[in-house]
Amino acid sequence: MNLVDIRNLEVQFPGATEPLTVIDDLSLNILPGEILGLVGESGCGKSMLARSIMGLVPSPGNVSKGQIFFGDLDLLTLDEPSRRSLRGNQISIILQEPMTTLNPVYTIGNQIEEVLKEHRPDMKRSERRQLVIQLMKQTGIPSPEARIHQYPHELSGGIRQRVAIAMALVGGKVQLLIADEPTTALDVTIQAQILKLFVELQKEHQMSLLLITHDLGVIAQTAHRVAVMYAGRLVEVAHVEELFDNPRHPYTRGLLHSLPRPGSHSRKQPMPSIPGTVPSPGAIPQGCAFYDRCGFRDDKQCLNERPNLEEGATEHWVSCHFAAEIPPFKVNSSDEVTP
């Protein structure tokens, strides 16, 4: 049984002549209690996917096709009040920039407590306060009794992100936590602490975690399963070990090659990287979206035919015409990234 089941999701924005598709025919499931990593370069639609699940696609964008099941509920057919009752309660999100996600003019106590006021109207004021303090303790915020009266600008980035986490979990019924680049804006030392906290809390609250990042290192440390996204589509989905050992999609391989590893590269060689950039919505090629940047392409099939996400090996899904033919992955064969 899936916790979340996304089927053929399509998200569009109105464009000058025709709608721009930012998420294209995307299907993905999230199992109860798993950490699913979602990777991809910036602009590939990861955040839009997160917002689609939250029901917060920014206007004038809209979900134009597909279904998103949360348990038995089809989220896209729910009315706004019922969706709202899930948000911040059973489905929570943490955004990248803890500096800007907290409202500068309210105390953090007020902002955490607000979730309880909305979703647990039966609770007394004192109970709410107690729960807020307890959550702040759990997320590792020192002396929470004093902090609840502070404003965001008085806190460090790490503490702010902990506040955001407390805010996401305080409802107490969270089944899915979406973390959208939760550590990108933080110092490296703080990053590790926050990641550790995520893993602990995920176990403790027995929730699923959708961890969105462009950092494969983060995925390797935390995720159970990985979904790789490119230009609004999924290109590869697999268990984390499988993906790192046997990546089948050229894009995934490119990402893995550009991961710095101690001793694997000579200092004289430049860091390998994938040439080019993600095509913007509306400029996606007719065939495979990765065509322009791929080292394995051919000029017939890849140029004209869009590959589907297919299950090559057990629970290893790839969308590439050459998924089966591509040679086994070797870390140093970085010349394969050049088209």
Q: What sign does the dihedral 191-194-199-200 (CA atoms) show?
A: positive
149-to-114, 137, 144, 145, 158 alpha-carbon distances in Å = 14, 15, 9, 8, 18
Classify residue 87 by its DSSP letter: B
Q: d(Cα 156, Cα 51) in Å, to the nearest integer?
A: 26
Inter-residue contact 29 to 6 (CB < 8 Å): yes
Using the rule CB under 8 A, is 104 a contact of another protein? yes
In the complex, the smallest distance separating the C-beta of residue 149 from another protein, rounded to whole angstroms, is 11
Residue selected from 8, 14, 203, 324 as contacting another protein according to rule CB under 8 A: 14
Q: Pick the stretch among 13-21, 222-230, 234-242, 288-296 that binds another protein (CB under 8 A).
A: 13-21
With vertex at residue 179, the alpha carbon angle to CA 21 and CA 131, rounded to the nearest 5 degrees, is: 135
**The one among 93, 209, 234, 302 contacting another protein by CB under 8 A:** 93
Task: Work out whether strand 310-313 and strand 73-74 pair parallel, antiparallel, or are unpaired.
Answer: unpaired
Identity of the residue numbered 106: Y
User: Which one of residues 32, 33, 43, 71 is an interface residue with another protein (CB under 8 A)?
Assistant: 43
Burial tier of 209 (Cβ tally within 10 Å: 0-12, 13-18, 19+): buried
Shortest spacing between CB 229 and another protein, in angstroms: 12
Q: Residue 45 interacts with another protein (CB under 8 A)?
A: yes
Question: Do residues 137 and 144 touch, judged by C-beta distance below 8 A?
Answer: yes
If one asks whether residue 77 binds another protein (CB under 8 A), the answer comes out as no
State the nearest-atom distance from the C-beta of 323 to another protein, in Å.
27
Cross-strand bridge partners of residue 313? 316
- Rounded Cα–Cα distance for residues 136 and 128 (Å): 12
Q: Are 197 and 140 in contact (CB under 8 A)?
A: yes
Q: Is 164 in the site for another protein (CB under 8 A)?
A: yes
* C-alpha closest to that of 288 among 322, 315, 254: 322
Cβ proximity to another protein: between 169 and 238 the closer is 169
Kindly tell me which residue out of 8, 58, 64, 332 binds another protein, with binding defined by CB under 8 A. Answer: 58
Please report how close the Cβ of residue 82 comes to another protein at its closest, in angstroms: 11
Q: How far is the CB of 66 from another protein (least distance, A)?
A: 18
Q: Give yes or no for residue 121 binding another protein (CB under 8 A).
A: no
Among 12, 52, 92, 183, binds another protein (CB under 8 A): 92
Size of site (CB under 8 A) for another protein: 50
Residues 38/211, Cβ–Cβ less than 8 Å: yes
* Candidate residues 8, 15, 273, 305; the one interacting with another protein per rule CB under 8 A: 15
Query: Residue 76 or residue 239: which is nearer to another protein going by CB?
Result: 76
**Residues at the interface with another protein (CB under 8 A):** 13-16, 20, 22, 41-43, 45, 47-48, 51, 54, 56, 58-60, 84-89, 92-93, 95, 97, 100-106, 114-115, 118-119, 151, 153-154, 164, 167, 214, 277-278, 280-282
